[in-house]
Structures are given as C-alpha cells and as structure tokens.
Structure 1
C-alpha cells in the first residue's frame, strides 16, 4: 500500500483511508498520483481523468472540455469561477468528492454528492461535523439530494450545519465568514471528531472559512498538524493553499477581520487603508475577534 499525500478522492473507483500522520493511503483498486500540483486519478491502472492546477502568466489556464455527462455544467461552473474569482483551478464533478486534511481536526473539501459519501467521511476520516456553505441553488444545480445526505448524517451521528454564502461573491463571503467560523470553532471545541468544511468545489468559500478560522483562533505547525500561535493572514493562507491548491478570496478574509476587530464606529473604511491592512493583528484585536465570533454561536 502506497502513501501518496493528503488529498483524496472518494468515488466508486477510488478508495482512500487516512493514516495517523495526516497522509492517505489507497487500496489496490486505485492509484492516485500527485506531481507538480497536477492531480491524476487512475482507476484500476487505467488513466481516467486529470485535474490541472497550473496557471499561465495571466493566472488562468483552460483545460480541455469535459466529456462526462455533466460536462456542460462543469464547463459553465469552471468558466464562471475563473472569470469571477480569477481562480486558475478547476472542479471535476465526475471524479466524486475530494478533500484535504488541513489540521488534525479540520478537513476542507468539495460537496458530498451522495449518502455513501457521508459513510466514507465517518468511517475513513473520523468526521463528526459537516459545515455546508452552499446555497440551495448550488445544490439544485448539481442535482444533489441534500435530504438523503442529511438523513445519513443523522443516522451516522454527524452534525450537519449550514452557513450559506453566495458563490463567486466576495461581499457575501466577507459578511458570512464570522458566522461560518463560529460554527467551526464550536465544533472544534466539542472535540468529538473532525470538522469537514465544504462548498461546491472546495476551492473558494470552504478554504476561506478554514483560513479565517486558523487566522483568528489558532495556527498550524506544518510538521505536526497541531495548532500554535498565529498572527498573520499570510501564514494561514499559504499553509492551507500549499496543502490544497486553491484560490480563496484574501480580501474577503481581510474585510471580515476588519469588521470584527473594528472598535470605533468612525474608523476609516478598509478600502481606504493600505493594501495589506489587517493581514496582521494585535493580541487585543485577536481577543476581540474571538469574543465576537463566539457570541455568534447558535445564530
């Protein structure tokens, strides 16, 4: 059995299981290869698909069109993501759910597509909480049966939470981050298992919530996957995106940080401040942010 990294795909042809060091192993039915930020899935030894996370000088590189049954939807989604988020990465719905272990108690990934994905998260990744950032329209667009997923969560004793944010909209993300992080912080504090944060592709909203949580509440020792003191957004951002190549909106995270740390109603708007304002926070600002986020529990 080969250890190949910490990003895994769950589908009928790709089986994965977590190891104690945060990596994942694959069964003999599938081989997963990660080289130079290219993810290639092999099913029973036959190359089947590719996810490219290369970017051109302009920050965007087109991939060949998908030939799967949901190809048109995938193409439309990736086109919108590249245009509106300037995100050079792509979502491949036909490969099934994929996710990455970020902290020892935090996972960021794409949407569960069927009830069996919940069994996988429970049995293979020790997930006890799921935070869904999708709006109803996102779920309907991909034809996901959310009711069956929630029912399977209840059966498997997984707490399913929703904090919807509009896809490709940094203002919606900015306003929604505090409540989303409050759900993550509460779930982590409960300590009953890992927290799985997902949006549609796990490339925008979900990693932004993970980064904001790390920035506001902890950090990450990249060797042990344990929390440590952290005061810089850049450290949290790079830590997550090096593990899971993606392009969450940094400005939205800065904006939410500013909103929570603002202690003067007459304070100058963030837009008038230097470009890197609130990418570093003082201890008193961190304490104020934490208190305000915790006060949002249950809202």
Structure 2
C-alpha cells in the first residue's frame, strides 16, 4: 500500500521563554524549539510521519524514537559531561550567533531547508555529521541535498565523530576553513549543524570566532553559549589551536601543557593560524 504522510504543524508566536539573570535561556527552555526569531518571538514546528502498511504502528515508531533520544542523551551526558538534551521530536532548532552565522541541530526534511532559505537567508550549510549519525536518525540526506541545490544553497560536509574530542580537534581546521570561506563569500548566512547542535557545531563556530574575529577562547565561548546554551569541548579547541600555532616536530605534547594554555594567542600566532586555515580551502 502506498505511503501516507501525516503532518502536524504548530506555530507559537510572541511566546516568552524563561531567562536566567544573564539573559540566556534556562536549560531545556528552547532545546528542540526556536526555529526562527522575529523580535522577541519564536516559532516551533512539530511533525510526525506515519506510513500505512508498515510493520510498526505510529505509536510504536514514536516509542522507538523516544528510545533513540534517550540513548543519545544518556551518551551525550556521559561523554560530554553536560546537562543538555536533544529533542529530535520537536524538529530543527537553532540560534543566530553573529550576523552571518547560525548554529543549530540537523535539518530533518527538505521543508527545513526551505525554512532556512526563506526565513533566515541561508546560503551555505556546513554539516558535521558522519553517515552513521544520519542513518541513526533516519534522515533522507539525498532529499535534503536535492532541495539545497534547488534553492541554490551550497551544502558542505566535514564529518567528525560525535562525542569524540580527538576527532573534533583534528577536524576543526578544515571545518573552520569551510566556514570562513562561506562567510567571506558574503552571499548569505551560514548554517552550521551537527546532530543536536550542542557539541561539534558550536565548537566550530567558537574556533572560528577565536581564530578569525580577534576574540580569546573564553570570550568566543561565552558569546556563543549565552545565545545557545551548550557544552562544546574547550580542550579540543585549545588543542587544535596549539596544532596550528606550534607546527614543529620537537614541540612539547599538548597534554603536558597547563589547562589555560592556548586559551589566548599572540597576534603573530593568530596570523599564522589564519594563513594555515585558509590554505586548507578545497582540501
């Protein structure tokens, strides 16, 4: 029997979410929600898809998705040691970090690409997921990429292993290279995402702000996390910074350095990092 798609769309406008004293969202107040920001309002889209004639009922599928989310969030809390959660069932969520940079969770369907184009003027998408991440959540990436092409959005991939600081550290230079190139093109905003938008994607955005925007690591980190509460791995960003700034075979192992090492850099180090990152374009 053919497939029937059932969708539920809820829009919330002029909705106020609880804030901390510092102006940031409380945990779980927006995770899985804010699709777009207009003044002080946010909208949320929730969709459910069911197919008649398949072995699982809609309730069983929703239960399976709940199990996936629970497993994922347990792993994230254990590996990243932070309290944040990903709610796949509430759809794509994101926050704008700078004028040209948005950080968020994975687009789940072609309509999400339409939304990013029409509501946020996104011209580039930088996807940090591995194939296994996409398969785990059942995302039809081909249809997402097809819609990107139809809307003249450049889709780029720089896969890094989820919850793995070593993979993040080694992949940051090329990921930031792609991000910096897209921002410098100036054709529209860049949407950077991983799965939940809580680890890899914000780490890439923070590294970009650290290396290219004249901020130290703490300033870049606080700038992003005040807008999108999350817990990306600072040590991985410091490690990547060290790798780029100290490229000689006799350097001391990064693991032997104090915890504050390479949380800030000299002007000559920043210049060197910029040159090395920009040289990675197209590789």
Structure 2-normalised TM-score?
0.82
Q: Is 1:254 aligned to residue 249 of structure 2?
A: no
SS of corresponding position for 2:97: strand
Query: Quick one: which of 253, 256, 265 aligns to 1:269?
Result: 253
Q: Is 1:13 aligned to residue 3 of structure 2?
A: no
Deviation at 1:269, TM superposition (A): 1.0
Query: Quick one: which of 35, 44, 50 aligns to 2:19?
Result: 35
Q: Is 1:292 aligned to residue 257 of structure 2?
A: no
The aligned counterpart of 1:224 is none
Q: Is 1:185 aligned to residue 169 of structure 2?
A: no
- Measured in 2, the distance between the counterparts of 1:94 and 1:69 equals 11
Aligned length: 243
Given that 1:188 and 1:195 are in contact with CA atoms closer than 8 Å, whether structure 2 keeps it comes out as yes
SS of corresponding position for 1:101: strand
SS of corresponding position for 1:195: strand
- Measured in 1, the distance between the counterparts of 2:124 and 2:64 equals 31
More helix by share: 2
The Cα RMSD (Å) is 1.9
- Measured in 1, the distance between the counterparts of 2:112 and 2:18 equals 22
5+ residue gaps in structure 1? Answer: 1-10, 16-25, 43-47, 50-66, 219-228
- Measured in 2, the distance between the counterparts of 1:102 and 1:246 equals 13
5+ residue gaps in structure 2? Answer: 1-7, 21-25, 35-44, 47-61
Runs of 4+ aligned residues of structure 1 deviating over 3 Å after TM superposition are none
Deviation at 1:265, TM superposition (A): 2.0
The aligned counterpart of 1:166 is 161
Given that 1:166 and 1:173 are in contact with CA atoms closer than 8 Å, whether structure 2 keeps it comes out as yes
Deviation at 1:32, TM superposition (A): 5.3
More strand by share: 1
- Measured in 2, the distance between the counterparts of 1:34 and 1:151 equals 38
Deviation at 1:273, TM superposition (A): 1.1
Given that 1:68 and 1:94 are in contact with CA atoms closer than 8 Å, whether structure 2 keeps it comes out as no
Structure 1-normalised TM-score?
0.78
Given that 1:100 and 1:244 are in contact with CA atoms closer than 8 Å, whether structure 2 keeps it comes out as yes
Please list, as runs of the form range in 1=range in 2, the aligned pairs for 1:144-223 lying within 5 A after superposition: 144-218=139-213
Distance 1:141 1:32, change over 3 A: farther
- Measured in 2, the distance between the counterparts of 1:161 and 1:73 equals 26
Please list, as runs of the form range in 1=range in 2, the aligned pairs for 1:60-209 lying within 5 A after superposition: 70-209=65-204
